[in-house]
Amino acid sequence: MLEEWGIRGIILDLDNTIVPWHTTDLVAGVPEWVDRMRRAGVRTCLVTNNYGAHVRDVARALDVPLVVGALKPLPGAFWRSLRALGLEPRRCVAVGDQLFADVLGAKLVGMRAIVVRPVSAREFPTTRALRILERLVYPRLRPTPAAAHDRRADSRPDA
Ligand SMILES: [Mg+2]
């Protein structure tokens, strides 16, 4: 799908996208996936609203550039990440677990976005409040073919 879209860069969220909130425990397969993307000519930049020292450990482990204190959905950090990757918005996709941070921010700079299910239920209290709004918006979104397939294949009750 990324190839079809002409994607050369991924702006990747940290908490609850590739690690459980406020940890450095990378979800199984993430380092391999970042490497596979790199070998395919798709570079990754880690972008997080978090400031903690653990964030640097994750970026170091993945060997990718890092933008901290991003204040997503404000577009500043997305522009900084695009500069770090040396790519135009149409060549990048944002990947994250929050509609009103990762996806909204990406859309404000004209990027595509892929939203993933949060990897853990632990999160910042304000995020938890925004999940209520997300539940109102999700039914109105048009899924990509891959997401539609995922939904059919998924037997979890929250699917
Ligand atoms: Mg997140």
45: CA distance to ligand 1 center in Å? Answer: 14
Domain 2-149 is in which class?
A: alpha beta
pTM value is 0.86
Q: How far does residue 118's CA lie from ligand 1's centre (Å)?
A: 7
Q: Give the Cα separation of 99 and 1 in Å (integer).
A: 20
Q: What is the 148 CA–ligand 1 centroid distance (Å)? A: 22
Q: pLDDT below 50 — which residues of the chain? A: 153-159
What pLDDT shows up at residue 146? 64
Convert the pLDDT of each residue in 35-76 to its tens digit: 999 999 999 999 999 888 889 999 999 999 999 999 999 999
Q: What is the pLDDT of residue 29?
A: 96
At residue 150, the pLDDT reads 60
What pLDDT is attached to residue 157? 40
Q: How far apart are the CA of 17 and the centre of ligand 1, in A?
A: 5
Closest to 131 (Cα-Cα) out of 157, 93, 101, 159 = 101
The domain spans of the chain are 2-149
